[in-house]
Amino acid sequence: MKDVADGVAPASLRVARGLRLLPPRDGISAARLRAPGGTQTHAAQHDPVPGTVREWLEQVVISRTLAREEALDSVGVEYFTVAGELTDQTGARVRLDDAVIPGGFYAFHKPVPPERRVPFEIAVVHEDDELLIVDKPHFLASTPNGIFQRECVVTRLRIARGEDDIVAMHRLDRVTGGLLALSRRPETRGKYQVLFQEKQIQKTYRALAWLPNGWREGDPLPLGLESGEARERRSRLRKIDGERPVREVAGPPNAHTTIRLAGAGERDGRAVGAFVLTPHTGKTHQLRVHMNGLGMPIVGDPVYPRDAEPDPYDFSDPLQLLATTLAFDDPLTGERRVFHSRMALAA
């Protein structure tokens, strides 16, 4: 769970707002690059400016910036100006012998291989001129990420609706299901994004989580949880590059979740609790890490307490975590808006 308008990318690939860059192709946004030099502050401002675009792509971009991009491992520079449709910040097509614009932004289409379809459908909960509120199925990514560029909510909806301007205003983990809010119009998008940035969106999740081994009704639970009562979990979360699990570490809290036990039962011979979770911050994997840290990992979690390195196409055991409610005051009308998921957790 993380509130971002777009997936976080390296600085050289971030969107340059307000510039005339290449539109999406097949629903997938173009990648962005920034040339060295120029007068504005950026990571490569003081690097030497190559004489031509070809020299830049050969000596700088492919060797340093794009080497991490698996889809570009075997791409030569000709790809960028042919299939890649390299354009500059004015929207003009670029040739390999053109001079590099110091500090300029460039865009191109990355090669995107075919993908196996994730066999679940997106359900529209609400739509108007500005917004789409959908139920994202478990196992479908919110935005293009890693091996899933085509098989995600944003790409699917852009293609199905013919709307290249659709953008997710926050993200749900790929294995989490439930409500996802998307903007349809760049002209009003910023007003809604501010709600997420300033934590003015109220979100509620439901989860099934394993209760401590040997737990029986009447036994104490972490945080002093009792059915119907809410408790607070605050801790410091840290994401380490190259590791899938997020860690709880010592230090001032940067993550806060309200946890309420709604009831308890049994699943596969073990005690399981039904929880209502309210995040007050938007850290990656926050709800999953907080529940695991209490010794009550969410049922079906492939990463906590142990990273099982799951096959991304194994759909047999969905995470029992569901984004059930989104509520906010509409920044355009002032109207209070509350949306409810139509999905349900396993019995």
Which amino acids are annotated catalytic?
Answer: 173
Tokens at 169, concatenated = 């205003």
Tell me whether the omega of the peptide bond preceding residue 36 falls within 30 degrees of 0, making it cis: no
SS3 sequence, 155-207?
Answer: HHHHHHHCCCCCEECCECCCCCEEEEEEECCHHHHHHHHHHHHCCCCEEEEEE
Residues 6+ apart with CB under 8 A from 128: none
Phi and psi angles of residue 135, each rounded to the nearest 5 degrees, phi first: -95, 110
- Measured distance CA(329)–CA(231) in Å, rounded: 26
Query: Residue 93 is encoded by which pair of tokens?
Result: 């097509």
Q: Could you count the other beta carbons within 10 Å of the beta carbon of residue 242? A: 4
